[in-house]
Amino acid sequence: MPHQREQGERMAVQAEDFTVRPEVLLLEELLDEVRVGRLRVPRFQRPYVWRPDQMLDLYDSIERGFPIGSILVWETSLPLPSLDQVAGIEVPPAPEGTVAYLLDGHQRLSTLFGTLLRRPEPPGSGPDRHWWIYRTLGAPDQREVRFQHWGKNAPPANLLPMQAVLRTMDFLAHARRIARDASTADDTDALVDEAEQVAQRIKAYKVPVVRLQGGDLAHAVEAFSRVNSGGRQISPDQMVSALTYRAESDETLTDRIAAIRESIADSGFGDIVAEPVFQTIVAITGEDDVQGARWTALADRVGNTLDRTVAQAEIALHRAVRFLRYEVGVPVAWLVPYPQQIMLLAVFFHHRPDPEGAQSRELARWFWSTSWATTFVGGNGFQLRRTLHQIRAFATGRTELSLQGQYAQPLPERFDTEDGRVRAFLLWELGHFGQRYGLDGEPIELVELLARSGSAAYRRVVTGVREASAIANRIVLPTPPGTSVRDALLDLPPKRLRSVAVSHAIPPAALARLLADDRDGFIRERTATLVGLEQEFIQETGAELAWESGRENGA
C-alpha cells in the first residue's frame, strides 16, 4: 500500500525510457519559466493564430475559475531549435542541459505571456495592439465577458490593463489613476477593490502541466497525439512536420505548407485550407491513404526527399488551381465544393502536367460530377483511396474515369456554404448566368466581390417568411447601408429593374411575385426555375450520373 500511495502521489507513468509526469503550477510560475528561457517554443510549432475573441474568452475563463486545459511540455537534453521570441517578446537562449519544449498550449501560453508580461507602452495603432487587453471595472452585468481590447488612444480609467496585474508598481500606478480621474474618483474604493480581486484571481490561477521526460521526438509527438489537453489529436500535417523537422533547415513542413497557401492566394484564387496541400504532398510520395497513414513511418520514409516532394506538390497545386479557374470556371477558392478535389487534381497534374484537350474535358466532367454526387461527403476514406487510384490511372493513360453507381444529390433546402452541394450549385449558377449588374445598371466586379466578402456577398432578397433561408432567396447584389435587397430592387425604374433582375437569374414569374409582395411565391418561382435549369445541366454534363430514385425534385 505505501508503494501504491507513493505512485499515486507521483502520478508518473513509465513506458520504456519515456515518463509522463503531471503537476500543477501557478500561472505566474509557468510564465516565469518562459520568461527566463527554461520553457521553449520549438520551431516546428504552428504560428500564433488566435482571434481576439479567443484571447478574451481565455481571460474570462481564468477569472471565473474555469479550466483552460493542461499544458504539455517535453523535457529533453536533445538539441531542438526554438523561437527566440514568444508573442513578440524576446526570451533568453535555452540553458545548457535539459530543456522543456512546449508541445501543446502554444496559443494559450502566448496569449497570457504576451498580455501579462509585455511592458506598458502607450496603446495606439501598431502591430502589437492586439496584445493590449483590459478588464472593465464596475460593469453592471457580471455575467458577460468583461474583457476587451483597446488600441485606439488612452483607455478610460475604469479599464484595468492586464500588463499591470503581475507588477505591483504598475498596479499601484493604475490605482492612483482611478483616484485622480474625474470619471472614476467617486468610486475609487470599489473599483480598486475589484481590480485587486481580478489580479488575485489571475495570480492564484493554477494550470495543470504534463511533463514528458526522456525519449525522442517520435515519442513526444506520439504522446502529443494521445494526451492533447483540448480533447483533439494533433493534426497529421503538424505530426509529420514535427517528425521531419531538421535542425539544419530554417523551415518546417508547416512553414512550407503555409508558403504554398500564400502563393496560391497571391495568384488571385484566395486562401485554401492546409489539408489538401498536405494531402497532395503525402499522395506524391506514393502513399494511398492520405487521411490515415502511419505518419511516423511516412516521416521516416520521406525524410531526405521532403524538399523535392514539397516543390513538386507546389507546382502540381498551381496547375490544379489554373485548371479550376480557367477550365472549370471556379473564380475563388472558397467555392470549391470539396477540398479533396484540389488534392486529386494536383495528383493528376503531377503525373500529367500537359493533358490533351479530351483529357482536360473529361477531368472537368469528373469535377462537376463529384461536386454533385456523394463521392466526398462524410470523409469516406475508402472512397477517397479508390478515387486516388482512379486519378493516377487516368493520368497515366491506364484507364478512363468512371462514376458508375454515384448519384446526384438534390439541392439542399437551406443556404449553407459549408455544404459542398450548395457550393456546387453556386458555381453552376455563376457560370450559367454570367455577368451580374448592380443597382446603377453597371457590371458588378463579381470575382473581386466574392473574394473580398466570401459567402456574405450572397444577400437575402426577402425576409419575414418561413422559406427565407432557401438558396433561391440569395443573390449577389450590393445595396446602400441599411437598405434591403428587396427594397433596393423595387426602387429601380421598371426598365432597369427588369435588366438587373434577369442578370441575377430572377425569372419574370418570380419578379412578378416580388412586385406583388408575394414573398413565398417569389422564392417558390425562383426555386423551380433554378432547380430545373441545374438538372438540365447535370444531365448534359454528368453522362453517367443518375438522379437518386425518388429525389429528383428535391430542393
DSSP-assigned beta bridge partners for residue 460: 474
* Chain segment 7-64, per-residue pLDDT in tens: 333 334 344 466 878 899 999 999 999 999 999 988 777 778 888 889 999 999 999 8
pLDDT score of 296 more than 70? no
pLDDT score of 195 more than 50? yes
Residue reference for cell 430545373 = 532
Written as nine digits, the cell of 231 is 480533447
Least confident range from 15-24, 220-229, 270-279: namely 220-229
When pLDDT is cut at 50, 70 and 90, the band that residue 139 belongs to is confident
Measure the CA–CA gap between 42 and 102, rounded to whole angstroms. 7
**Residue from 430, 513, 441 nearest 474 by CA:** 430
Say what percent of the chain tops pLDDT 70.
83
Written as nine digits, the cell of 70 is 493542461
pLDDT score of 284 more than 70? yes
Written as nine digits, the cell of 118 is 509585455
Measure the CA–CA gap between 364 and 341, rounded to whole angstroms. 11
Measure the CA–CA gap between 256 and 270, rounded to whole angstroms. 17
In this structure, are strands 474-476 and 458-460 parallel, antiparallel, or unpaired?
antiparallel
For 125-139, give one letter per residue: b (16+ CB within 10 A) or e.
eeeeebbbbbbebee
DSSP string computed for 256-282: HHHHHHHHHIIIII----HHHHHHHHH
Contact 369/545 with Cβ under 8 angstroms? yes
CB atoms closer than 10 angstroms to residue 194:
19
When pLDDT is cut at 50, 70 and 90, the band that residue 304 belongs to is confident
DSSP string computed for 7-73: HHHHT-EEETTEEEEEEEEEHHHHHHHHHTTSEE-BTTSPPP---HHHHHHHHHHHHHT-----EEE
pLDDT score of 229 more than 70? no
Which helix (H) or strand (E) segment is 475 a member of?
strand 474-476
pTM: 0.68
Contact 123/134 with Cβ under 8 angstroms? no
Map residue 388 onto helix, strand or coil.
Answer: helix
Q: What is the residue-averaged pLDDT of the chain?
A: 84
Measure the CA–CA gap between 129 and 442, rounded to whole angstroms. 40
In this structure, are strands 18-26 and 147-149 parallel, antiparallel, or unpaired?
unpaired
Whole-number pLDDT of residue 95:
84
Q: Which residue has the higher pLDDT, 134 or 243?
A: 134
Measure the CA–CA gap between 99 and 79, rounded to whole angstroms. 9
Residue reference for cell 497571391 = 266
Contact 529/428 with Cβ under 8 angstroms? no
Measure the CA–CA gap between 272 and 71, rounded to whole angstroms. 30
When pLDDT is cut at 50, 70 and 90, the band that residue 348 belongs to is very high
452 to 263, 326, 334, 475: CA distances (angstroms): 17, 20, 11, 16
Measure the CA–CA gap between 86 and 35, rounded to whole angstroms. 9
CB atoms closer than 10 angstroms to residue 216:
12
Whole-number pLDDT of residue 141:
66
| Mean pLDDT of all residues in 160-182 | 92
Whole-number pLDDT of residue 4:
40
DSSP-assigned beta bridge partners for residue 89: 86
